[in-house]
Structure formats: C-alpha cells, structure tokens
Amino acid sequence: MGEATIRDVARRAEVSVASVSRALNGLNNVRGETRERIVAAAKELGYVPHAGARSLSLARAHAIGVVLPDLHGEFFSECVRGMDREASRRGYVLLLSNMHDDSEQSAAALRTMRGRVDGLLVMAPHITPESLERALPAALPAVLINAPGEVAARPALRLDNHAGAHAMVEHLLAGGYRHIVHIAGPESNVDAQERLQGYRDALAALAPDMPVRVIAGDFNEEAGEAAARQILASHEPCDAVFAANDMMAIGCLHTLRQAGKRVPEDIAVAGFDDVPLARYLALTTIEVRIAEIGARAVSRLVDMLEGKGPGGGVELYAPELIARATTAARTGATAHG
C-alpha cells in the first residue's frame, strides 16, 4: 500500500484537491470549518506531501546539490557540517555526491542533480575551469569553492592559500630557521599549487639567498613519511619543513622523531589546515575554517536562489597562522640573522 496522496485526503474530507492544497499550505481562502475537516482527514490518513511532486509543479526543490572531492576525514565532515547547519536554517536539504577525481564521473554526478536541486555547491580543486564549465548545467545556479581560475562568472569562495603559505614562511624565518623545505601537494590541486607559490614568493621576497627546495607529495601521510626519509638521507642542510597540509606534516613529524631527530630543536615542522590532530601534536599550522566557508557558500547560494544577492564575485578567506611547539623559535634567533 503506497502512502496517501492528496486525492485520498480530498476524498475523505469530501472536498477537491485544490482545497486540500490550499488548506494545508495555509492559504487564507478556505473556510475555517472546511480547513478543519481537511486537517483532520490528513492526520487520520497520515498524509505527508510528496516532495518530488511538489518540487516539480513549483519548479523549486528546496534542495542543494553538494559535490565534493575525496576529502580527508575531518575536513570533509567539517565542511558538510557547516553547510548542513546553514541549509537547514534556511529550509534546504543537502544532496550529496562525492566526486571521485574521475572527471567523467563528476560530470555524471552533476547530471543526476538536474531537476532535484535548485543550485549547486561545487568544490573542485583539481578540475580545470574548462571541464568544470562544460560539466555544469548552464541554468543551474552554482557557488564554487576553491575552484581553480574563474568559471563563467560563477560566484566563488576561495581560501587564500597564498597568503597562508606566505605567513608560514615568514613565521619560520622569524623563528630563526633558514633552510626551509616544502612538501608539496598534488600538482593538479589548485590549493597545493597556491601554497607552493606562496612558499616560493615568500622565500624570494624575504630570504632571496636561501635555497628553494620542494619535495613532491600527494596530501597523504605516507608522502610526508617519504619526504622525511628523503630529507634524512640527503646531505643538503634543512632545519625546517613546511608541508602543504597537516597529514603530510604529521607523517613527516613521526618519521623524523623515530629517526631520533628532535623537533623543533633539530628541525621544525609545520603544516596547513589545522586538523584536530594538529593541536594534540602541537603542530604549527594554518587554520582553515572550513565549516564557516561551507556555511557561507550555502548562504550565498540561497541568497542567489531567492533573488536576494547579486551572486557574482570571488570571496577570499584569509586563514590564520597558529604557532605551536613544532616551530618554536630558535634560542637567540633573529629575524634575519
């Protein structure tokens, strides 16, 4: 037995479907006595409106599609949590679809969203603007999060990775560290690219005589471990490691310590993201308030949907440096000594 429909309610209350719809949606052109009969009938039948049908006739689904890449743990949940909080506050529900880096699959994911959501939140740090542009249904409002480049005047939220990395290099130099190695993220990831560039630019601006040294990584812990082994085996001097994210920093930290190195006395370690782990390991890092960004993305999208906002424009989020023990200043250090 399927659920009761509006027609069942109409039959039971001995009115037309139009009256049921009006009564249940709180329109005022229904007589009090009729409304009561309808409400009673609806309750007796346990009637719940069919959201799908409703959204079809209203051309409004009150749902937001969320397309995220494969994020590491905490990051993902924080992002979704922020979105969910704001979405439910504004009467929307979230339709989730992970985008497993395959760009073909991503396009398919976006496709299945059409007709069930009013707008899209897309986080795609590893997709080129062109293919994203192509995959996005043109008529669907969308807010981009950390997308590379500008995509067809879509509003976007971007984390200021460059500023964050710059601040970190500055912090390390101020702490007296001179030979700073960077463990980079995936080459195709725009966050990783910007952090790398921030590192390069900061070094060029603040300590042009110091060597630029980059070890490739992929944002995973193992990459950090591998980088640490490489640093240990190398003859080149290195007194600080700045990893493009916390997980690599953590892997690096562990391997260095297991090899007998003292952190930060022998070598400093810093990350990026401020995952909860960072606090416990006293890891210096850059705080990324991802939940806030998620919430803000929803807010902007809903504003667009409800015609309240201009839409366009890129909002930049400045992250904050959190100094902890793994980069404690060297004793007797001077900023440029």
Partner DNA sequence: CGGCCGTCCGTAACCGGTTACATAACCTTT
Partner DNA sequence: AAAGGTTATGTAACCGGTTACGGACGGCCG
Positions that interact with a second copy (CB under 8 A): 1-3, 46, 48-56, 61-63, 71, 73-78, 80-81, 84-85, 88, 93-98, 100, 109, 111-116, 137-139, 250, 254, 276-277, 280-281
Of the pair 15, 136, the CB lying nearest a second copy is at 136
> Which of 40, 53, 108, 335 touches DNA (CB under 7 A)?
53
> Where are the alpha helices (H) located in 175-259, listed in sequence order?
190-206, 221-233, 246-258
Q: Is residue 116 part of the contact set for DNA (CB under 7 A)? A: no
Q: What is the DSSP letter of 66?
A: E
Q: What is the token pair recorded at 7?
A: 């027609």
Q: Is residue 33 part of the contact set for DNA (CB under 7 A)? A: yes
Q: Is residue 41 part of the contact set for DNA (CB under 7 A)? A: no
Give Cβ neighbours of residue 27 (< 8 Å, ≥ 6 apart): none
Partner from DNA, a second copy, none binding residue 21, C-beta < 5-8 Å depending on class: DNA
Closest CA to 172 of 272, 283, 270: 270
Task: Return the H-helix or E-strand segment holding 322.
Answer: strand 320-322
Render 244-287 in DSSP notation, one character per residue. SSHHHHHHHHHHHHHTT--TTTT-EEE-SB--HHHHHTT-BEEE
Q: What is the token pair recorded at 132?
A: 């994203």
Of the pair 14, 315, the CB lying nearest DNA is at 14
Partner from a second copy, DNA, none binding residue 58, C-beta < 5-8 Å depending on class: DNA
Of the pair 198, 251, the CB lying nearest a second copy is at 251
User: Which residues contribute to the site for DNA (CB under 7 A)?
Assistant: 2-3, 5-7, 14-19, 21-22, 24-25, 28-31, 33-35, 47, 49-50, 53-54, 56-59, 115
